[in-house]
Amino acid sequence: MNLFATILTYPAPSANYRGESELNRSVIQKVTDGRLDYPIFSPESMRNALREILRRYDLPCNRERLHDEEQLAVRFADYPDPDEYADDFFFGYLVAANGKDRKEIKATLEKNRGEARAGRFSFKRDSVFRMNLAKAIEPYRHNAIFTQSPQDCTPKEVKKFANDSKSNLLHRETVVSAFQYPFAINFEDCRDKSDWTRKLLQAIGELNGVAGNHARSYFEMAPASIIARLTESLVAGYQTYCFKPQGRGPSEGVPDVVLDVLAGDYPGEEFFVGGEIVKRGLTDEQLAALEAKGVTVDRDPRNILTGIAEKVLGAPKAKGKE
């Protein structure tokens, strides 16, 4: 059984890319769609945030982000092991080794883990959890914010670090928009890790801390709305970047896939719709028609993710029970 879903965030000001800059200008990453540029979040940044959330849920994770280094840095607890670590299982890995290095790694694993576990080791693994970049609903319109850093007048006998002694004008690109991103997962790949999979779906429902610049820009990537399809099909079969800017008419801004389900183009019982689109995006007549088609509708997008997990994986086991 395959799950295909698209998440739409709440709109908010965003100025959270902290990669390469042009002089004092902090640049938002963008992609061109047609004739316009749209801000994006990379899937790598979202996957990293999901790792950190799974770690907060006390799931065993191999990779840990180090925040007090001179550059982006991570630390691994061990060689990759998808049976032992949730992040290795869901997000995959690559051990860049060949020839002599591979033999040495195999020998080390046999010594430290035993032949059985060493025999299961692989040098690379595809991601079980698939996702694409998050793209803004609204295009970038060349907005920017200017702030000024103060002059550092700390006395020399106290100052032990090299902050700039001059005041600087800081220039950062800014956008106000919601973002949408699709993800997919095959539950057959996760049968042996059902508890981890439930936690992954919970993490998507609470996704936050995705990009940098958190001191100045708080932007949640948790779902405001969700459209999902649970199907035996190997493809979603519809435009996964399905959300549109809010329209004025009863059908303007409604995702095409919703209208297509209403038209009978898709089996309604495979679809789940939740969040703001249920609260304010659809008319009462449209909601009633969706439910008549067998679509699961809920005002809370997190209930959609929980319901899908229970439908496929069963209810979670009570603590203390086998």
85 CA to centre of own chain: 19
Average pLDDT per run of 10 along the chain, which is 322 residues long?
Answer: 96 74 73 93 92 95 85 85 92 86 83 75 90 94 84 75 74 90 95 93 94 73 96 96 75 86 96 95 94 96 96 77 48
Strand partners of residue 94: 124
pLDDT at 55: 94
What's the token pair of residue 269?
């019982």
Closest C-alpha to 222, from 12, 38, 37: 12
Which is it for the CA torsion 191, 193, 197, 200, positive or negative?
A: negative
Q: CA 207 → CA 53, 199, 210, 259, 318, distances in Å? A: 8, 12, 8, 28, 25
β strands within 178-309, DSSP E: 179-186, 225-231, 271-275, 296-298
What pTM was computed for the model? Answer: 0.89
pLDDT at 322: 44
> Could you say which DSSP state residue 190 is in?
G
pLDDT at 162: 65
pLDDT in tens, 243-277: 998 755 555 679 999 999 999 999 999 999 999 99
Which is it for the CA torsion 238, 208, 308, 281, positive or negative?
A: negative
pLDDT at 290: 96
pLDDT at 17: 64
Strand partners of residue 171: 25, 146
> Could you say which DSSP state residue 298 is in?
E
Q: CA 64 → CA 46, 52, 59, 122, 128, distances in Å? A: 15, 8, 12, 21, 20
Phi, psi of 230 (to 5 degrees): -110, 115
What's the token pair of residue 172?
């950062």
What's the token pair of residue 128?
């079980």
